[in-house]
A and B are shown apart, each in its own frame.
Chain A
Amino acid sequence: MYRYDEFDAQIVKERVDQFRGQVERRLSGEILEDEFKPLRLQNGVYLQLHAYMLRVAIPYGQLNAARMRKLAKIARDYDRGYGHMTTRQNIQYNWVALKDIPDVLEELAEVEMHAIQTSGNCIRNVTSDHFAGATKDEIMDPRPWCEIIRQWSTFHPEFAFLPRKFKIAVTAAEHDRAAIRVHDIGLHMRERDGVVGFEVHVGGGQGRTPIIAAMVNEFVPETEILDYLEAIMRVYNRFGRRDNKYKARIKILVSETGAEEFTRLVEEEYAAQQESEKIALPQAEIDRINAYFAPPEFAEKPETSDAFERAKAADPAFANWAKVNLHPHKVAGYTSVTISLKPIAGLAGDATDGQMAVMAHLAETYGFDDIRVTHAQNVVLPHVALDDLYDVYRELDAAGLATANESLITDMIVCPGLDYCNLANARSIPVGQEIQKVFADPAYEQDIGKLHVNISGCINACGHHHVGHIGILGVDRKGEEYYQISLGGRADEKAAVGQIIGKALRHEEVPGAVKTIVDTYRDLRISADEKFIDAVERLGVEPFQEAIYAAD
């Protein structure tokens, strides 16, 4: 994991002091809410329905035990004892008092954390594959470049007042778990003739106008990537629309300009950069940051573990959990563990301070002090020995953290919805909980297999409904909550926007409709090996439409 040097520490400290001053000026009335807004917004402070919300950055989802304990302490001391993991791999606190926020930021700085640029029209937290550095299917660890991009984008003076917010994601694995094609910029690490570089995708996004990104460059060598990003950002800053908030994201610029012309503008700007304008990242700096991400010292172990096999045979609940929540590790005898924050009828992505403490302890004891937050609002221990799994499981189970549903239908992405958010049109949380109850039987759920249900309470799409295999969007119809269902969306390397299947349904009809869709899939799939999303791709949406709306 990256550790701050004196520069990083100094910059974060100066930010805390600066924000303390800004809050003091706000509380004393020296500046008005209107003027305070851009300041708090670039610090992750939102005014929500009930209180100020604080969003803390977890760069590329990376935590360790000390950071997790600090997040637990903040939940306990300044909030109501819990925090909410977000789809940008961040954590949000919903009940923090404005006057306390400078103190919270100071506590965060103690563990090398901050809330810089977690909101506002600037470059936001860089996200990545939550299995980075552990998964078998990556060509290298993308985190060093996430860190370099984090630093480059922090307080970038030219790009702090962009037309709209800006999100960058990086992956280095063939199977894209970072959803790079629905980001403003998505970077896929490649290697060509021994040179590390990036395939560059621009202009993807969700929200009101879901668009899959265009590839603007097949390969930008790593030594040039920051300069190339500057060129993209400048084209966007100069030419992105500012007349309409809903048309201000870079996806609209790319689609209105045309991907080809947009690419030409970027290439032209890039070619015009003079030597004196280049960032000139020293190779020694790339090496320095890479060194922080050296793999931990894994023990030499056989592929299989007797202890693990014995425990599975003895404890069916453990066997069931292990079947679902583990991801193959690049080192023999190890695995990556997903800790689901989606208990049946719970609050998606929420963790209590006690649960955070348990996760911290497990990471420290069994997991090389490494913890990740996933964009699906779960937590991952990326490096756990198979030999230790049963101990890990029992501790998780005791803390209510052993839900066995990773990537299954009850592992939904759910936005806060009307219960918390002042943008929402409809509630999301209860809809998610009601659907979960329909699929609570583990045998049924596992028979269905991998299936992402994503729920948003409004068209801003924080619940990623466009890229849910089943997407659910809450809409308001004359004061009543209705839900629009779409099928076939996906955020991976075959990214696609889901297709709306028919008229919106009433709240109480939604769980039944989802069950109908799922059972239709089970009837029509070629075999249990054909995943839901593949079946929808093969069959189209018609059989599902018919099953739901035939009675009308």
Chain B
Amino acid sequence: MPLIKNGVEVEDTWTFSEDVSNLPSSGCITVPLAQLTDYADTLLSRNQQIGVRLSPADDPHTLQPYLDRISLIEIDFPKYTDGRGYSQAQLLRRRLGYTGELRAVGHVLRDQILYMNRSGFDAYQTARADLANVVQALKEYSAFYQPAADGHSSVFSRRHTKA
């Protein structure tokens, strides 16, 4: 599946592994949240980078003790209609201060990517959207009413800031 990061297609060097008892000896691995918390010592002492994949019901606060030691957080959208990932992303970026890669995986469609970007995602694994479409989708709006994780000033405050 193509991976788009910061607006360009990049090679994906990560592998998702459901089960940590059978990890490949090399390469970057993401694991489910429960696996990370259960096997934190083993996983975080590996030579390779470690990442985590959140399911919609996962509480991002659980990641707090590990945030400075993980290099990738994937947030899974099993269905595009399940919007919990947007709150997880905002919490990670704005409340918990996570600054590493935040990747949307699963049912990631072109027309949701702007909302994802605003919520703090910077990478998208998407089956159908090609590079041009995603870049286009990110440019469809030039002003936003509310502040979010993307750092744009809200229209509410732009109205009262001298250019």
Out of B82, B143, B156, B159, name the residue touching A161 (CB < 8 Å).
Answer: B82
Instruction: Decide if A282 is an interface residue (CB 8 Å cutoff).
Output: yes
Instruction: Decide if A38 is an interface residue (CB 8 Å cutoff).
Output: yes
Q: Interface readout for B135-163 with A: 1 if CB under 8 Å, 0 if not?
A: 00000111111111000001111111000
| CB pair B156 A285 closer than 8 Å | yes
| CB pair A161 B80 closer than 8 Å | yes
Q: Which residue of B has the minimal Cβ distance to A226?
A: B146
| CB pair A38 B143 closer than 8 Å | no
Quick one: given A158-B119, A158-B148, A242-B82, are A151 and B143 in contact (CB under 8 Å)? no
Q: Which residue of A has the minimal Cβ distance to B148?
A: A157
| CB pair A151 B156 closer than 8 Å | yes
| CB pair A161 B141 closer than 8 Å | no
Quick one: given A7-B155, A158-B119, are A152 and B145 in contact (CB under 8 Å)? yes
Give the complex CA separation of A279 and B119 in angstroms.
15
Give the complex CA separation of A285 and B86 in angstroms.
27
Out of B81, B115, B141, B160, name the residue touching A11 (CB < 8 Å).
Answer: B141
Residues of B within 8 A of A161 (CB): 80-83, 86, 112, 115
Out of B83, B156, B158, name the residue touching A162 (CB < 8 Å).
Answer: B83
Distance in Å: Cβ of B84 to nearest Cβ of chain A? 6
Out of B87, B95, B155, B156, name the residue touching A237 (CB < 8 Å).
Answer: B87
Q: Interface readout for B100-135 with A: 1 if CB under 8 Å, 0 if not?
A: 000000000101101110110000000000000000
| CB pair B87 A121 closer than 8 Å | no
| CB pair A157 B143 closer than 8 Å | no
Q: Interface readout for A277-292 with B: 1 if CB under 8 Å, 0 if not?
A: 1011110110010000
Distance in Å: Cβ of A511 to nearest Cβ of chain B? 42
| CB pair B81 A14 closer than 8 Å | no
Residues of A within 8 A of B148 (CB): 157-158
- The total of Cβ contacts below 8 Å across the A-B interface reads 108
Give the complex CA separation of A121 and B79 in angstroms.
14
Give the complex CA separation of A314 and B109 in angstroms.
67
Instruction: Decide if A155 is an interface residue (CB 8 Å cutoff).
Output: yes
Distance in Å: Cβ of B145 to nearest Cβ of chain A? 5
- Assign chain A's interface to a size class: 35 or more
Q: Which residue of A has the minimal Cβ distance to B111?
A: A39
Distance in Å: Cβ of A106 to nearest Cβ of chain B? 16
Out of B87, B94, B147, B160, name the residue touching A279 (CB < 8 Å).
Answer: B147
Distance in Å: Cβ of B155 to nearest Cβ of chain A? 4
Instruction: Decide if A272 is an interface residue (CB 8 Å cutoff).
Output: yes
Chain A contacts with B in 359-413, Cβ cutoff 8 A: none
| CB pair B141 A38 closer than 8 Å | no
Q: Which residue of B has the minimal Cβ distance to A230?
A: B146
Residues of B within 8 A of A242 (CB): 56, 82, 84
Residues of B within 8 A of A279 (CB): 146-147, 154, 156
Instruction: Decide if A78 is an interface residue (CB 8 Å cutoff).
Output: no
Distance in Å: Cβ of B70 to nearest Cβ of chain A? 21
Instruction: Decide if A80 is an interface residue (CB 8 Å cutoff).
Output: no
Q: Which residue of A has the minimal Cβ distance to B88?
A: A238
Give the complex CA separation of A38 and B115 in angstroms.
14
Give the complex CA separation of A38 and B109 in angstroms.
11
Chain A contacts with B in 490-516, Cβ cutoff 8 A: none
| CB pair B143 A11 closer than 8 Å | yes
Residues of B within 8 A of A280 (CB): 147, 156-157
Instruction: Decide if A303 is an interface residue (CB 8 Å cutoff).
Output: no
Residues of B within 8 A of A156 (CB): 145-146
Instruction: Decide if A306 is an interface residue (CB 8 Å cutoff).
Output: no
Chain A contacts with B in 157-180, Cβ cutoff 8 A: 157-162
Q: Which residue of A has the minimal Cβ distance to B145?
A: A151
Q: Which residue of B has the minimal Cβ distance to A161?
A: B83
Give the complex CA separation of A121 and B82 in angstroms.
10
Out of B82, B86, B95, name the residue touching A157 (CB < 8 Å).
Answer: B86
Residues of B within 8 A of A154 (CB): 145
Distance in Å: Cβ of A161 to nearest Cβ of chain B? 3
Distance in Å: Cβ of A13 to nearest Cβ of chain B? 10
| CB pair B84 A237 closer than 8 Å | yes
Distance in Å: Cβ of A431 to nearest Cβ of chain B? 35
Residues of B within 8 A of A11 (CB): 141, 143, 145, 155
| CB pair B145 A277 closer than 8 Å | no
Give the complex CA separation of A281 and B153 in angstroms.
11
Residues of A within 8 A of B82 (CB): 161, 242
| CB pair A158 B144 closer than 8 Å | no
| CB pair A7 B159 closer than 8 Å | yes
Distance in Å: Cβ of A300 to nearest Cβ of chain B? 36
Residues of A within 8 A of B143 (CB): 7, 10-11
Quick one: given A14-B142, A18-B140, A38-B81, are A160 and B86 in contact (CB under 8 Å)? yes
| CB pair A276 B141 closer than 8 Å | no
Residues of A within 8 A of B147 (CB): 279-280
Instruction: Decide if B30 is an interface residue (CB 8 Å cutoff).
Output: no
Chain A contacts with B in 1-57, Cβ cutoff 8 A: 5, 7-8, 10-11, 14, 17-18, 22, 35, 38-39
Quick one: given A7-B155, A284-B160, are A274 and B145 in contact (CB under 8 Å)? no
Give the complex CA separation of A156 and B154 in angstroms.
11
Quick one: given A158-B148, A159-B83, are A274 and B142 in contact (CB under 8 Å)? no
- Residue among A22, A238, A273, A276 with the most chain B CB within 10 A? A238
Q: Which 10 A-B pairs have the closest CB atoms?
A: A161-B83, A157-B118, A157-B115, A7-B155, A158-B86, A151-B145, A284-B160, A282-B160, A7-B143, A18-B140
Which A residues fall within an 8 A CB radius of B? 5, 7-8, 10-11, 14, 17-18, 22, 35, 38-39, 121, 151-152, 154-162, 234, 237-238, 242, 272-274, 276-277, 279-282, 284-285, 288
Q: A160-B112, A161-B82, A281-B156 are in contact. List 7 more A-B contacts (CB 8 A).
A: A14-B142, A39-B111, A151-B156, A155-B115, A157-B119, A277-B94, A280-B147
Pick 7 A–B contacts, CB within 8 A, sort by A.
A5-B159, A7-B158, A121-B81, A157-B116, A157-B146, A242-B84, A272-B95
